[in-house]
Amino acid sequence: MAFWTILLAAVAVLLLSTDDSLAQMKGNICEMDEARITELLDCILSKSPKGTLELWENTKAMFGGKSPAQAVLSMCSASPGAGETLISEFTNQQTRADKPKFKKALKDCSS
């Protein structure tokens, strides 16, 4: 839980540099059902660079045995800003080379 508290604090700065289409998608992730979140994650990962996929594998270890969609829904129910936090933090963790490709995957899959 402390990890997510730290993420929430760090995201305030990150949100200031996020474009409108990503902000729109982030606002909606907590309103999605489990099937839609799974579909979105599958789409994003299918279009993401290798570095993103490696980061994703490391991130899944923090889900405590839950599926990624269940973990997102659980975090969304605990905190209204969790969707923004998750996407902003994961975007921020991308390497300089991978970040534009990851953002494009987010945009492509959220439209």
Domain boundaries, the chain: 2-110
Distance in angstroms (rounded) separating the CA atoms of residues 34 and 59: 18
* pTM (2 d.p.): 0.70
Does pLDDT of 35 surpass 60? yes
pLDDT tens for residues 74-110?
Answer: 888 888 778 788 888 888 888 899 999 998 998 898 8
Average pLDDT, the chain: 77
Terminal Cα-to-Cα distance of the chain (whole angstroms):
31
Does pLDDT of 13 surpass 60? no
- Residue partners of 25: CB distance under 8 A and separation at least 6: 87, 106, 107, 110
Residue located via tokens 């209204």: 80
